[in-house]
A and B are shown apart, each in its own frame.
Chain A
Amino acid sequence: MAEDQAREALAALDKAIAHKPRKDDADFAAALEHLCKLRDVLLAEARQGAAPRERLGQVNALISVVLAGHFPLGSVPWPEVERARGVLAGMVPGQDGP
């Protein structure tokens, strides 16, 4: 379940990076949606003591960066978004991490 959400989020983020929207973009929205679902899964697991909180912290940070692409202050921070993409890829089996 968590892997599926991470994979979906990564696919959406890759689309956003490919076409570089100026802001408020459907792919960013999709990436956020899946990251938030991933957050919910990790939160539930953490509350049950079934997962470490570090991963949850990472996902929260990813949400902050992707949200900054979706609702930027000024220009979209593409270098940071691409770095976030690397971190997210590290959560998806078979993908290269940062």
Chain B
Amino acid sequence: MPSLGATFGRGAATMSLWDLANADCIVVMGSNMAENHPVAFRFVVDAKTRGATVIHVDPRFTRTSALADIHAPIRSGSDIAFLGGIIRHLLEGDLWFHEFALRYTNIAHIIEDGYRGPEEEGGVFSGFDPETGTYEHDTWQYKGKLAQSPVSEHRVQEQEATAGEQESMAHGPAPQDPTLQHPHCVYQIMRRHYARYTPAMVEQATGCTADIFLKVADALARNSGRERTGAFCYAVGWTHHTTGVQIIRAASIIQGLLGNIGRPGGGIMALRGHASIQGSTDIPTLYNMLPTYLPQPNAFHDHGTLQQLLKTETPATGWWHNLPKYMVSLLKAWYGEHAQAANGWGYDFIPKLTGDVSQLPMTLAMAAGVIKGQFILGQNPAVGAVNSEMVERGLAKLEWLVVRDFAMSETANFWQKGRRVQKGETTPADIGTEVFFLPCALSGEKDGTVTNTSRLVQWHDVVLDAPGDSRSDLWFIYHLGKRLKELYAGSTAPADAAIQALTWDYPERGEKQEPDAEAVLREINGYTVADRKQLPSYKQLKDDGSTACGGWMYCGIYPADGRNLARSRTPDGPGGPGSHLGWAFAWPSNRRTLYNRASADPDGKPWSERKRMVWWSEAEGKWTGTDIPDFEDTKRPDYRPDWSKRPHGMDALGGADPFIMEVDGQCMLFAPSGLADGPLPTHYEPVESPVRNPLYPGEQRNPGAKLWARPGNELHAPGDPRFPYVLTTFRLTELHCGGITSRVAPHTAELQPEMFVEVPPELADMLGIKHLGWAVLLTLRTEIEARAMVTERLRPFRINGRTIYQIGVPWVFGWQGYARGDVANALLAITGDANTSIHSTKALTCGLRAGRVGHADGGHG
């Protein structure tokens, strides 16, 4: 989540799930939370019971809407127009929390003279290069400064600084105008930027009527200030757009303006959770990060040596000035005695990035024959990845494919039953891929942790052994690693030195030689190299090779031998503080609410008794409260940096600068660095849209969007009459993610037995589609069929004087299991967000007709 990272400092939910119950207003947007995060949604219901206003902004009326006070329907992909309208409403109505935002955000900071916004530049920001489709960030900077972004997810795309440039932040504070009159202060820039996001424009762009929009905006404004807070909850309904990062940024700006960060019931809840998604970015399976968000070196940046990397990437000011300690400790954990000062702590062993090797381009590279083999663990891309027929083409080009799952999946038997085989485009005999299907253990059959959506790392023990030859993923990776090490043990090739140097010595247990998962967690926590004692805190990590740590943010989870805090299960009792610090471990430092220094005013006093969390205790000379303070324990609220000494690190942040991962401790309403597609969120239409961009007619879609048009991945032009309907995809409570775990289980399969498409009655009448009859959805990629669910849960939108119909399909069906249906993702093109390359699944266009594939209204062709 580079949006949360760029704005606040860390790419993670800012609050705990149960803290939602303390909110006075909750906006669920980009999520059908009641159905897809039902356990978390209980805290929304708790808040409502206590009097909170619950709002659901979504194209469909779902169970979440049914439990909300306000349902605001918007056209898929128009989120920034809606949220931008709220920002305008807060600014023009002077409804923002002045005391908070003036002191804790960069609202008063002055931006470079050369900055120009999309209002002035025809829909793009200054620094845009139409030849390359990328931005230079120079004009987005604080005047006379270079403010690096926090070292968080997806940071290193372009090199932000040459070594030493970041020193400008240690020379003095960024220029500010607390009167907010300077034409280039962030406040004035935002006012100009959002001036046209009026309620009428919101209605025109989103289809949500101005009166409903204003109800939402006013509810948020009303529940802000010293006594009240509000929260946003979102899921992939926001992230899965080519503007996904900027949608989340827009909500972050609202929360910064309203003082809804770091306070009880205030924050942004990034709803992840399923399959440990938060954990998979913390200890990443992503290509461009080392564990706990350390930067993956890039072969084309100034990263040739560890020293160069650290000089280039270490911010001069703020907490991330500690980066060298975390990097060196990671290298010691990975390479042990082979990591020495003389060899840059083994830095050369780490692979260096060259290009974008995220899932989408690699799918295309696979289809082009670049990739020879692939491991698929915990995924079912033949169902879950966009343009699934392109995925099948890629799989068919591999020499070998290893799939680990607990039941046969579509990815494992694509060569036999895949869509391309069904359609007669290929035959099993034409596919040369050698597939190894290996049985895996389910979560109850193995030890380990799940990191949930609020950074809570919870341990689970094996309940019963996996049957037969099923093994845990940990077992598979560990024993694969052992065999590779054996294979390369005698090699003298320099390229093989990395695998030879890797520490790979976890204890094994039992007949199956299962590696000890707690030993892995102990290594992630970190230890002293000399006597291998567990470290209680990342504050003790060093950059001299004396400490080893597999993931600095997790340090403290296993602070001493025999103390696995992820196992801890002590909730607060009735009347307790409610932070539940004894329940598992939340990174960092077991802290539940990030940036909680902001729960106190600049003088260190709670904003109100009702909303107190962390405050300065003069008697104790430290910060205290109901949560672990997200601040230096003893830094007084009145501490101010002595700029004459050119302070670095935390010395450069004052006692009232709560966002310690940022270079100046401020919430970045305006992001000078860290984002590929603009310092402020701007409404662009989805790549496929039936309407023109009403705000920037010259710039239809995000100019930074990642597009890969090619045969089989063609895109629909805006307004293409063959594809007039807006299509979104969604999940179902009853069928889990890629579907295999629940589609093969009869009791869940029968709850959602068949693929369907939700169609509004007006559109169904127009097209002759009957409820429970067949319908065909068409795109340039392919066509699929589904049973029609004709429902008023979807209403026609009036967009700029036209009626626009929105339809929706679940994406969880495939050809395996009891509950079957066409793969919805086959309809989608491969397109990606400008910052993350994450796929776009929530807003595209399609055609729709009654009947079945291959016939106008007959049987299956």
Contact = CB atoms under 8 A, between A and B. Distances in A.
A and B are interacting partners: yes
Interface in B477-526: 493, 495
Contact of B298 (A20, A69, A73): A73
Nearest to B352: A64
Interface in A73-92: 73-77, 80
A76 B353 contact: no
Given A32-B370, A74-B157, A74-B158, A67 B708 contact: no
B375 interface: no
Nearest to A24: B708
A8 interface: no
A73 B353 contact: yes
B380 to A, nearest CB: 24
Query: Do most interface residues of chain B lie in helix, strand or loop, or is the interface mixed?
Result: loop
A63 interface: yes
Interface string A52-65: 01000100000111
Nearest to B354: A68
A57 B495 contact: yes
B845 to A, nearest CB: 22
A53 B134 contact: no
Nearest to B135: A74
B300 interface: yes
Contact of B369 (A23, A36, A74): A36
A67 B287 CA distance: 15
Contacts of B353: 73
B133 A29 contact: no
Contacts of A65: 354
A57 B491 CA distance: 15
B368 A71 contact: no
Contacts of B377: none
Contacts of A68: 300, 354-355
Contact of A67 (B133, B288, B298, B370): B370
A75 B672 CA distance: 19
A22 B133 contact: yes
B792 interface: no
A72 interface: yes
Contacts, number: 69
A7 interface: no
Most buried by B among A23, A29, A36: A23
B365 interface: yes
Nearest to A70: B355
A71 B355 contact: yes
A38 to B, nearest CB: 12
A74 to B, nearest CB: 4
Contacts of A71: 355-357, 361, 364-365
B132 interface: yes
Interface string B330-367: 00000000000000000000000111110001001100
A65 B158 CA distance: 16
Interface residues of B, number: 30
A14 interface: no
Nearest to B364: A71
Query: Do most interface residues of chain A lie in helix, strand or loop, or is the interface mixed?
Result: helix
Contacts of B709: 24
Given A22-B133, A74-B676, A29 B300 contact: no
A24 B368 CA distance: 12
B131 interface: yes
B368 A75 contact: no
Nearest to B154: A73
Contacts of A74: 134, 157-158, 676
A76 B132 contact: yes
Interface in A4-46: 20, 22-24, 29, 32-33, 36
Most buried by A among B129, B132, B493: B132
A49 to B, nearest CB: 15
Contacts of A73: 156-158, 288, 298, 353-356
Contacts of A63: 370
Contacts of A36: 368-370
Nearest to A67: B355
Contacts of A57: 495
B131 A22 contact: yes
B493 A67 contact: no
Nearest to A65: B354
A32 B134 CA distance: 24
A75 B493 contact: no
A17 to B, nearest CB: 15
Contacts of B361: 70-71
A33 B369 contact: yes
Given A33-B368, A33-B369, A68-B355, A75 B708 contact: no
5 contacts: A22-B133, A24-B710, A68-B354, A71-B356, A73-B158
Q: Which 5 A-B pairs have the closest CB atoms?
A: A68-B355, A68-B354, A71-B361, A74-B158, A71-B356
Interface of A: 20, 22-24, 29, 32-33, 36, 53, 57, 63-65, 67-77, 80
Given A70-B355, A75-B129, 4 more contacts: A24-B710, A53-B493, A67-B355, A71-B356
